Amino acid sequence: MENSNNLYKKLDRFIRKYYLNQLIRGGILTLISLLILFIAISVLEHYMNFDVVLRTVLFWFYIILNTLFISKFIAIPFLKLIKLRKGIKYSDAAKIIGDHFKEIDDKLINVLELAEMNQNNDLVNASIEQKTASISPIPILNAINFKTNIKKGYWLLIPFALLFILFISGKQYIITDSSERILKHNTFFEPEAPYQIVFDGELLAEQYEDFELKLKITGNEIPKNFYVEFDNNKFMMQNKGNNHHLFLFKNINKPSMGFSRVGNGGFSLRKVSSFLRVLNSRHMIKWSSIFRMDLPDRPFWDYYKKINVIRETKKGIDWYAKNYSLNEDLFWSDRAKLFYPELKIAPVEIGLKFAFEAHPRYCFEKNMHNLPFGAHAWEKWDSDFWKNWIGN
């Protein structure tokens, strides 16, 4: 019976090695899944700027999918390894061994079947000992080869190589910034350009004088050319090299495009009941309105930007008011009517009678050379104009 006992001990060691091998292989597969999916989601988020809903979906998709991977390929084999969960039987192990060692074939299974019979039978016991003795010299533990996992481990080089390339090329922000937004999936993030514009010098000019607009560009991805738009035309700025750009405005006189709407929350009259109707509105703008919607701050033909506006406003006034990042007067001038179409906003002609801010001389001219009811930030915008009137 000694050979038989030794055989069962070998089978026990084989089963432990079998689950240890599964654990190693499962760890490699899970790590590959974690890394590749992490990189794919981060890159997609970086280039597509997903909103809160999509980032939340991706976050939980990543968590759930990898939880399933960890459960199937790591947790279950580990529980079977430490025998907290039922694993394969001796007969299952014998079949695996028989498939690997052709000289064993069905001998091991036959031994196990005979052992289940009445062991008081001397003939049966003799047969068991004979078959066991013929099997014992064979190294059945070699049916499991840990080295086969090395080939699967090579696949880990792909995600690690991608991460290495991104970091040594200085583009690690593709992973770090977007992964931070995925982790904070419930937070609204205003899409950021991959570069920053720094104005070189003050944005002030004497009337009727030339003005040089100078820009310095910094960032990770810097476009080759920059443009200035005014008078319904687009002009390319002069590239001075070393990420510096310049554009010359000739004979600064007055705002070339006039005023498209009123604004300024620093000095304004508001009807509280109408504003409350906007904030309490549950009006939902329709997608079809993109073809007739007029946004003061968006060209009528710029459907891409208008789609983004509709997509954000369809989240409701509560979300929009919480996440709107520009000055609040721009919200009331440009967006409030999308939530409450009946809201009335004073036209420019009436706004000029109430107050001036920027370009007061031009406003004075458009207001038929009449002063308004009041002024806002008079000391900032052409204070000499106001000093003449204040002195009088």
Give residue-wise pLDDT tens across range 192-219. 667 788 888 777 666 667 788 888 888 7
Q: What is the mean pLDDT of residues 257-272?
A: 69
pLDDT exceeds cutoff 80 at 329? no
Whole-angstrom distance, CA of residue 55 vs CA of residue 45: 8
> Among residues 19, 2, 14, 21, which one has the least CA distance to residue 101?
14
Identify the pLDDT of residue 197.
Answer: 81
> Which residue pairs from 282-285 have beta carbons closer than 8 angstroms and sit at least 24 positions apart in sequence?
282/316, 282/317, 283/338, 283/339, 283/340, 283/341, 284/314, 284/316, 285/310, 285/313, 285/314, 285/338, 285/339
Identify the pLDDT of residue 100.
Answer: 66
The model's pTM:
0.48
Residue 204 backbone class (left: φ over 0; alpha: ψ -120 to 50; beta: rest): beta
Which has the higher per-residue pLDDT, 319 or 300?
Answer: 319
User: Is 337 exposed, middle or buried (CB count within 10 Å of its CB: 0-12, 13-18, 19+)?
Assistant: buried
Contact 283, 339 (CB under 8 A): yes
Give the CA count within 13 Å in the CB-facing half-sphere of 138: 21
Mean pLDDT of the chain: 78
Identify the pLDDT of residue 102.
Answer: 67
Give residue-wise pLDDT tens across range 92-124. 777 777 666 766 666 666 666 666 665 565 655
Residue type, 30: T
Whole-angstrom distance, CA of residue 69 vs CA of residue 27: 9
Whole-angstrom distance, CA of residue 332 vs CA of residue 345: 8
Contact 212, 248 (CB under 8 A): yes
Identify the pLDDT of residue 70.
Answer: 92
Q: What is the CA radius of gyration of the chain?
A: 37
Give residue-wise pLDDT tens across range 36-50. 999 999 998 888 888
pLDDT exceeds cutoff 90 at 60? yes
C-alpha 125, offset from chain centre:
68
* Distances in whole angstroms, Cα of residue 149 to Cα of each of 22, 154, 337, 377: 9, 9, 63, 72
pLDDT exceeds cutoff 60 at 359? yes
Which has the higher per-residue pLDDT, 54 or 10?
Answer: 54
- List the domain boundaries for the chain: 2-183, 195-249, 272-391
Identify the pLDDT of residue 71.
Answer: 92
Task: Output the CA angle 90-93-97, nearest 5 degrees.
Answer: 135
* Distances in whole angstroms, Cα of residue 239 to Cα of each of 179, 226, 242, 249, 380: 34, 8, 9, 16, 31
